[in-house]
Amino acid sequence: MKKSLFVVMAVIVFCFLLIGCESGEEIVEPDEAPEEEVVENDTPVEIDGTVVVTDQMGREVVITGVPQRIISLSPSNTEVAFALDLGDRIVGVTEYCNYPPEAMEKDIVGGFATPSIEKIVELEPDLILASTLHEEEVPRLEELGIAVLVIESSNLVELYTSMSLVAEVTGVIANGEALIASMQERIAEVESVVNTVDPEDRVNVYYEVYSDPLMSAGKGAFINEIISLAGGINIFGDLEENYPQVSAEYVAERQPDIILFPDYHGTADFVVEGMTDRPGWESVPAVINSRVYAISDDAFARPGPRVVDAVEEAARIFYPDLF
């Protein structure tokens, strides 16, 4: 039973694609770049048509020529690639890569935790976009002569770096710059509005990652940054663990004004009904005032281009009178 619970919790947490994202420390240099700016560390060096970069797992990656056949091994990486207008070069994705819709037309190479080496080889890629979950597969793929770039982000700065890195090695630098600039502009517009809200009037937000057992988002979770950018205060933003397990009583004690939870295939009504029966929740402001919202789970969960959509959606929920 304990093993089953551990597996379930591990899968749920990784669905947010944030496990093991400490490699960002190799990329970000705070002394050189303020937050929310693209961090240019280990700038790719071109040598006779070869690009040498350091990826987000701290590995030196050598890429010869401009990749034309790309496989993505995670949903977030797939979204980054398509947003950079690399869709025509994508030849394979995982079964969980469901956005944009065009991604589902690509060949499937397995699950994001269980990619098929045989299927990958069959598709003859010249670049694989992997994540830190694929630590075991990376050396196997490299032994087969395939370039592997590990990209994964735990915050917005690292996301911009990921996008810049992929754009660089695929030869679409201008696309990367335009995408990042657009995202920064949209986020700045949201912040310019929510910054007019007095600190004491900011809403306290509880984000429910999972309901059995109850799990929320802590200080290091991408969701915490989304809530903050949208002008809210994460009630568990003081907890060090990225995805802490909490109790119903603990949530009630922190009195959230708003509750957000991912809408998994139309389960919203069922989840809301279950919340009202939790111990102490009859006194929770969010429940009393019917401010419990199902949100776009993938946009909030994945560290990709749609994080801006999540920030805008959250801001509209938090302060409907301002948007």
Same domain, 40 and 181: yes
135, 153, 186 - which closes a domain: 186
* Residues of the domain holding 269: 197-322
Same domain, 133 and 215: no
Q: How far apart are CA 63 and CA 50, in angstroms?
A: 6
pLDDT above 90 for 7: no
Same domain, 176 and 242: no
The pLDDT score that the predictor gives to residue 263 is 84
147, 164, 186 - which closes a domain: 186
Same domain, 168 and 45: yes
Tens-digit pLDDT profile for residues 132-189:
999 899 999 999 999 999 998 999 999 999 999 999 999 999 999 999 999 999 999 9
Tens-digit pLDDT profile for residues 227-270:
999 999 999 999 999 999 999 999 999 999 999 999 876 667 77
**How many domains, in total, are found in the chain?**
2
Same domain, 261 and 171: no
Same domain, 282 and 180: no
pTM of the predicted model over 0.85: no
* Minimum mean pLDDT range among 11-25, 106-120, 247-261, 297-311: 11-25
The pLDDT score that the predictor gives to residue 311 is 98
Tens-digit pLDDT profile for residues 83-110:
999 999 999 999 999 999 999 999 999 9
The pLDDT score that the predictor gives to residue 264 is 75
Q: How far apart are CA 304 and CA 131, in angstroms?
A: 13
